[in-house]
Structure 1
Amino acid sequence: MREDDYLFISRLVKEKSGLALAGDKQYLVESRLLPLAREAGIDDLGAFVTQLRRPDAASLRNSVVEAMTTNESFFFRDKVPFEHFTNVMMPYFINARASKRHLRIWCAASSTGQEPYSLAMCLQEMGSKIAGWRIEILGTDISSQALERAKAARYTQFEVQRGLPLHMLAKYFIQKSEGAGEVWEVVPSIRSMVTYQKFNLLDRFSALGVFDIVFCRNVLIYFDPPTKADVLDRISRVLSPDGFMMLGAAETVVGLTEAFQPMAGRRGLYCPTINKVPIAAS
């Protein structure tokens, strides 16, 4: 791929998704663009980029942006965030929201659905502790393809073996035949706890409403510092004053925003700076 073509793709992806492609990612760009080029009946990447530059190629450019986003996900990824959810966040809210019994949770960049379904399973495991509660889980992603998979809630044997405890597989999944193989489908009681919506983290958050918990994991690492800071500041505006934000293990707010403070001894867990760390969660 010519350098000017690579720069065009890099600018396109950055403008549309916030994803900052490093200069050494040309191999990744080529590997993800080739299938799209062939679908369009074009064998040469240079000719494909020429097509992308046309004013009437908006739909094709959107397909390129989706192809460049990373949709890596698996159930209970990294374990610690779900321990924080079960042992820190929910015990706090069960007490603090005892009169309202209503919570809103946002999984930003939810990919193919493993994270929101993992949270739904955690909630189901709490049983009578949250009986009568209305808990909304919203999963958003920029990729239509990833969201369709999330809504279908069907996973391969390989996918359910990555992080999912066996007792939860038996309890919350149904094994079904699909084509030449077997798939595992999330049970309706878990699926009904999650709604999905296409959403770009560069867009305004206000239309989504206010949340008590935001999981924004393993997406900021792909943004440049100004974009990271902007996303974090806007998350702070849609998070309740005593809410929680969960970042990925390799992500931090340090040097990016003063809107959040880390919770001591709780890796990746943050609360708004305007609010003291909840006593019940310390």
Structure 2
Amino acid sequence: MTEAEFEALRAFLKARSGLSLSADKRYLVESRLGSVCSRFKIESLSHLVREIRSGRSSALEKATVEAMTTNETFFFRDKAPFDLFQDVLLPKYLKERAASRRLRIWCAAASTGQEPYSLAMLLKEAAARMAGWQVEIIASDISTEVLEKAKAGFYNQFEVQRGLPARLLVKYFAQVGDQWQISPEIRSMVDFRYLNLIEDFSRLGTFDIVYCRNVLIYFDAALKADVLRRIANTMAPDGSLLLGASETILGVTDALTLDAAHRGLYTKTSGAGAPRMLASAVR
């Protein structure tokens, strides 16, 4: 693959997925796209780039984007965002949405489903407090392959050992051969949908809580600002956004305000731009 072909591939990936690959990531491209070449019987990365540029195969284009998408995730990843949901956000919205008894949650870039399923299990654990509530969890991703895995809800031993408490494994999973499948009850709580964050997602409606963790780090500054602005537009006036531990809005957008009491939590900026802090516990 020549330098010009690599640059063409970088431009293609950015245009289709927002993925901004630096010039030193050539090794990553070579390691991940070899399997795509094998699958489509393409003899080299140079030929793969030429096929993509020809526009003859949408299936090849899709497979190339999916191969370059990072799908690292696990149950209750980083723990703090889920403690925050359980101890701060859920009590807050149970109080503030008591009249409507409705709660909408969006997990963007949900990958193979461990994040939304973790939230679904926490909601099920809080069932005694949520009688009569209508809760919707929408989980989206750009990869149809990982969405199919997420919908099926099968995980191997390694996957269920990463962050998932043993009591929840026993309570909400059934062993099927050498796999574990999450219960139909939990699967039914999550609506998985294909969605590309660089495209319009206003049709999803308004959300009380948005999880968009560990995906914006792959976008350049301009696209990151655009996606954050549009996420803010989907949030209720008192909505909450959770980003990854290494992500920040500092110098990126003023549409959101950091909640000073909770790392990784952001609220929608009011007209005056003043921050609104959540109580540490609202019970």
- Fold conserved (TM > 0.5)? yes
Where structure 2 has 5 or more consecutive residues not aligned to the other structure, the ranges are: none
Q: How does 1:47-196 map to 2 (within 5 A)?
A: 47-177=47-177, 182-196=178-192
How far does residue 256 in structure 1 lie from its aligned partner after superposition? 0.6
Instruction: Please give the TM-score of this superposition, normalised by the length of structure 1.
Output: 0.96
CA contact (8 A) 1:32 1:68 kept: yes
How far does residue 90 in structure 1 lie from its aligned partner after superposition? 0.6
How far does residue 127 in structure 1 lie from its aligned partner after superposition? 2.4
Which of 255, 259, 281 aligns to 1:259? It is 255
Aligned equivalents of 2:45 and 2:68: distance in 1?
Answer: 15
Aligned equivalents of 2:152 and 2:249: distance in 1?
Answer: 34
Deviation track 1:15-34 (CA, whole Å, cap 9, x = no partner) reads 01101001111111011111
Q: What is the match of residue 245 of structure 1?
A: 241
How far does residue 280 in structure 1 lie from its aligned partner after superposition? 4.0
Aligned equivalents of 2:276 and 2:126: distance in 1?
Answer: 23
Q: What is the match of residue 2 of structure 2?
A: 2
Task: Give the 3-state SS of the residue equivalent to 1:25 in structure 2.
Answer: helix
How far does residue 205 in structure 1 lie from its aligned partner after superposition? 1.7
1:269 aligns with 2:268: no
How far does residue 140 in structure 1 lie from its aligned partner after superposition? 0.2
Q: What is the match of residue 35 of structure 1?
A: 35
Task: Give the 3-state SS of the residue equivalent to 2:24 in structure 1.
Answer: coil
Provide closer, same or farther for how the CA distance between residues 278 and 267 of structure 1 changes in structure 2, counting only shifts above 3 A: closer
CA contact (8 A) 2:121 2:186 kept: yes
Aligned equivalents of 1:13 and 1:120: distance in 2?
Answer: 32
User: Which piece of structure 1 moves more, 245-254 or 55-64?
Assistant: 55-64
How far does residue 278 in structure 1 lie from its aligned partner after superposition? 5.3
Q: What is the match of residue 230 of structure 2?
A: 234
How far does residue 78 in structure 1 lie from its aligned partner after superposition? 0.1
CA-atom RMSD in angstroms: 1.2
Q: Which amino acid aligns with 1:175?
A: Q
Task: Give the 3-state SS of the residue equivalent to 2:54 in structure 1.
Answer: coil
Task: Give the 3-state SS of the residue equivalent to 2:23 in structure 1.
Answer: coil
1:200 aligns with 2:199: no
Deviation track 1:175-199 (CA, whole Å, cap 9, x = no partner) reads 111xxxx100001111110010000
Task: Give the 3-state SS of the residue equivalent to 1:105 in structure 2.
Answer: strand
CA contact (8 A) 2:259 2:277 kept: no
Over the matched positions of the two proteins, sequence identity in percent amounts to 51
How far does residue 125 in structure 1 lie from its aligned partner after superposition? 1.2
How far does residue 57 in structure 1 lie from its aligned partner after superposition? 2.6
Task: Give the 3-state SS of the residue equivalent to 1:106 in structure 2.
Answer: strand
CA contact (8 A) 2:259 2:275 kept: no
Aligned equivalents of 1:279 and 1:11: distance in 2?
Answer: 41
User: Which piece of structure 1 moves more, 57-66 or 163-172?
Assistant: 57-66
CA contact (8 A) 1:92 1:281 kept: no
Aligned equivalents of 2:108 and 2:176: distance in 1?
Answer: 29
Instruction: Please give the TM-score of this superposition, normalised by the length of structure 2.
Output: 0.95
CA contact (8 A) 1:91 1:281 kept: no
Where structure 1 has 5 or more consecutive residues not aligned to the other structure, the ranges are: none
CA contact (8 A) 2:254 2:269 kept: yes
How far does residue 276 in structure 1 lie from its aligned partner after superposition? 5.2
Deviation track 1:187-239 (CA, whole Å, cap 9, x = no partner) reads 11111100100000011121111111000000000000001100000001010
Task: Give the 3-state SS of the residue equivalent to 1:7 in structure 2.
Answer: helix
Aligned equivalents of 1:235 and 1:276: distance in 2?
Answer: 17
Query: Which stretches of structure 1, 4 residues or more, deviate above 3 A after TM superposition?
Result: 278-282
Provide closer, same or farther for how the CA distance between residues 149 and 111 of structure 1 changes in structure 2, counting only shifts above 3 A: same
Q: Which amino acid aligns with 2:201?
A: F
Q: Which amino acid aligns with 2:221?
A: P
